[in-house]
């Protein structure tokens, strides 16, 4: 059932996140074996659409035994499969140009290659953890006739510093035209050169400081920071006004200045004290969302901090491993927050709530991935659904996430499950009065996301570009700053929104606060349309589905996170202001 090996990897990962069985020392003696791993191949315009290198009819070298293999769980999940190239490479031993294999182009393999060349396929290889990219081939036009060529010679220039590999350059040479029944030989050549690059700096050449200009980041952060100051000021003013109990009652009519008029009727919110702590509608879904939101927030924060401390781009797939590990490990938080909230709202069907909480996100993520894989299979027969990975994910859900969520839920219901609202809830719900259109929850929800989105959209551009194009994201310090700013802005905006809503004597603030914060993600999703049409060159049903599917997942996670943070902040605010209300 469960693929024991993958599960084992997962467990090993949880015990020793940084240990790797091989290539981990990066120290080579003269003539030690150096392994060239063939990884993936895929269109240049979508970095995330990748297939196994040997899904194209390339051939392998002659060497068939190597001393070590490796595969980590997250690589398997991402569809990165490392296959040994069969090329003989030894440390500091030059190899002159040499044929290593030959293929005969059948009709089918010719078609596959032409498809790849037409779509600007690139392939990726790894040597000593350094990624190497190469082009499959290129089209050439001659008198209006397009013919397709494939590169057959790989020239490796490998730089070494002492006993370590610090630089690899690949040059593709020797174009051969793709015609049916041609015999194509592939050759390679290795030149070792002394290099002065330090081992610690060997990844620097993959980073692009011109693209990730610090100036832009600082500018964006400065902008958002101004917004934060303004919003925090606004919220403290609201708090001061509401907590300054009776003063305004006496001086109300005479001294109501413009600002007060704008902020609405002072006493509107007090009228709904008997309803404001009425449980949210759809309490089960609501508490499941809040539980999941706590979990996602912790995962995002941990991953960013991990990325600042380590340099994740030097390790294949380590970010995803950490994210999955932290996600599984923080399931009790989900259970505790969701279960506790559900119990406080008087929910009784807690097992159903817990299952919803535990499986909602994994199911949506897997469902989307499955759907996209399905389209992929339809378009390219080569891509198979990674069933092994699916099994592993299922196993993790059932044997790790579910029990941990159960523990969290039980703790949450017992420790944090007693209703503790500062005001009693009236037996009969108060009718919600008519109000102006811009006080309707739907309008508030839609407006709520604008400012939080404004504080992150510049960073979003960099994040999108590093995800979809060939840029490596490395300015995680900025990401952390932006994350913190986003949280503050979200909380402030949600509090202001809720204050307006309550002043309009509408007590349905739980969903409104959650959704008005979550609508940030709606704007991010809209922004992703702009990004798709103006910044990427993806096309076709498959790439479109791929892009929008994964962007929807990203936005959903962001929405749940912002929504939860907004709700939690607002909840504190609402409790604070109503704790001062004296009920006559």
Q: Which residues bind ligand NAG (CB under 6 A)?
A: 157-159, 167, 169, 193, 195
Q: Shortest distance, CB of residue 169 to ligand NAG, whole angstroms? A: 4
With 0-12 CB in 10 A as exposed, 13-18 as middle and 19+ as buried, what is 439? middle
Q: Shortest distance, CB of residue 154 to ligand NAG, whole angstroms? A: 14
What gap in Å lies between CA 99 and CA 97, rounded to an integer?
7
- Tokens matching residue 527: 């922004």
CB count within 10 Å of CB 227 equals 18
- Tokens matching residue 355: 């299952």
Q: How far is CA 169 from CA 130, 132, 191, in A?
A: 10, 7, 10
CB of 88 or CB of 167, closer to ligand NAG:
167
CB of 83 or CB of 155, closer to ligand NAG:
155
CB of 163 or CB of 241, closer to ligand NAG:
163
Q: Is 110 helix (H, G, I), strand (E, B) or coil?
A: helix
Q: Shortest distance, CB of residue 94 to ligand NAG, whole angstroms? A: 12
- Please provide the DSSP assignment of 66-94 as one string: -S-----HHHHHTT---EE-----BTT--
Q: Shortest distance, CB of residue 524 to ligand NAG, whole angstroms? A: 37
Q: Shortest distance, CB of residue 139 to ligand NAG, whole angstroms? A: 25
CB of 205 or CB of 537, closer to ligand NAG:
205
CB of 202 or CB of 344, closer to ligand NAG:
202
With 0-12 CB in 10 A as exposed, 13-18 as middle and 19+ as buried, what is 62? exposed
What gap in Å lies between CA 427 and CA 522, rounded to an integer?
36
Q: Shortest distance, CB of residue 157 to ligand NAG, whole angstroms? A: 3
Q: Where is 169: in which H helix or E strand? A: strand 164-177
What gap in Å lies between CA 313 and CA 328, rounded to an integer?
23
CB of 160 or CB of 462, closer to ligand NAG:
160
CB of 14 or CB of 195, closer to ligand NAG:
195
| DSSP 8-state assignment for residue 400 | I
Q: Shortest distance, CB of residue 156 to ligand NAG, whole angstroms? A: 9
Q: Where is 153: in which H helix or E strand? A: strand 145-161
Q: Is 465 helix (H, G, I), strand (E, B) or coil?
A: helix
CB of 168 or CB of 354, closer to ligand NAG:
168
Q: Shortest distance, CB of residue 91 to ligand NAG, whole angstroms? A: 14
């Amino acid at each position: 059932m469960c693929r024991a090996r993958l599960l084992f990897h997962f467990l090993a990962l949880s015990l020793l996140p940084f240990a790797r069985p091989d290539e981990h020392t990066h120290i080579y003696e003269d003539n030690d074996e150096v392994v060239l791993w063939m990884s993936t191949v895929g269109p240049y315009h979508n970095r995330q659409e990748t297939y196994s290198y040997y899904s194209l009819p390339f051939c392998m070298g002659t060497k068939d035994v190597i001393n070590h293999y490796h595969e980590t769980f997250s690589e398997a999940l991402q569809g990165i499969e490392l296959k040994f190239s069969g090329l003989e490479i030894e440390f500091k031993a030059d190899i002159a140009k040499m044929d290593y294999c030959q293929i005969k182009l059948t009709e089918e393999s010719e078609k596959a290659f032409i498809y790849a060349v037409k779509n600007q396929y690139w392939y990726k290889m790894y040597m000593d953890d350094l990624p190497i990219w190469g082009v499959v081939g290129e089209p050439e036009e001659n008198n209006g006739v397009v013919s397709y060529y494939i590169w057959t010679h790989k020239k490796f220039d490998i730089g070494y510093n002492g006993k370590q590999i610090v630089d690899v350059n690949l040059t593709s040479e020797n174009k051969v035209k793709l015609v049916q029944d041609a015999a194509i030989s592939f050759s390679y050549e290795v030149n070792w050169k002394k290099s002065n690059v330090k081992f610690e700096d060997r990844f620097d050449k993959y980073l692009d400081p011109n693209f990730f200009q610090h100036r832009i980041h600082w500018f964006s952060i400065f902008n958002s920071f101004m917004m934060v100051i303004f919003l925090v000021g606004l919220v403290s003013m609201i708090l001061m006004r509401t907590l300054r109990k009776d003063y305004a009652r006496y001086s109300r009519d005479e001294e109501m200045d413009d600002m007060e008029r704008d902020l609405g009727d002072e006493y509107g919110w007090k009228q709904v004290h008997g309803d404001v702590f009425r449980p949210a509608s759809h309490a089960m879904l609501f508490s499941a969302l809040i539980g999941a939101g706590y979990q996602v927030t912790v995962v995002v924060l941990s991953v960013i901090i991990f990325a600042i401390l380590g340099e994740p781009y030097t390790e294949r797939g380590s970010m995803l491993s950490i994210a999955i590990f932290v996600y599984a490990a923080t399931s009790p938080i989900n259970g505790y927050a969701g279960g506790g909230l559900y119990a406080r709202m008087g929910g009784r069907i807690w097992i159903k709530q817990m299952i919803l909480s535990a499986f909602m996100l994994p199911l949506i993520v897997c469902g989307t991935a499955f759907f996209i894989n399905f389209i992929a299979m339809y378009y390219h027969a080569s891509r198979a659904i990674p069933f092994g990975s699916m099994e592993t994910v299922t196993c993790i859900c059932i044997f790790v996430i579910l029990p941990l969520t159960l523990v969290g839920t039980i703790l949450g219901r017992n420790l944090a499950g007693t209703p503790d609202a500062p005001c009693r809830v009236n037996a009969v719900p108060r009718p919600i009065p008519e109000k102006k259109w811009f006080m309707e929850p739907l309008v508030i929800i839609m407006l709520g996301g604008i400012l939080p989105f404004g504080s992150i959209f510049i960073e979003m551009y960099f994040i999108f570009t590093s995800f979809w194009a060939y840029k490596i994201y490395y300015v995680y310090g900025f990401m952390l700053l932006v994350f913190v700013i986003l949280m503050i802005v979200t909380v402030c905006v949600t509090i202001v929104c809720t204050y307006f809503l309550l002043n309009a004597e509408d007590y349905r603030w739980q969903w409104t606060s959650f959704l008005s914060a979550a609508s940030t993600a709606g704007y991010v999703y809209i922004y992703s349309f702009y990004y798709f049409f103006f910044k990427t060159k993806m096309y076709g049903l498959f790439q479109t589905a791929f892009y929008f599917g994964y962007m929807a997942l990203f936005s959903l996670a962001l929405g749940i996170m912002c929504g939860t943070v907004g709700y939690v902040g607002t909840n504190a605010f609402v409790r604070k202001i109503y704790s001062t209300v004296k009920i006559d």
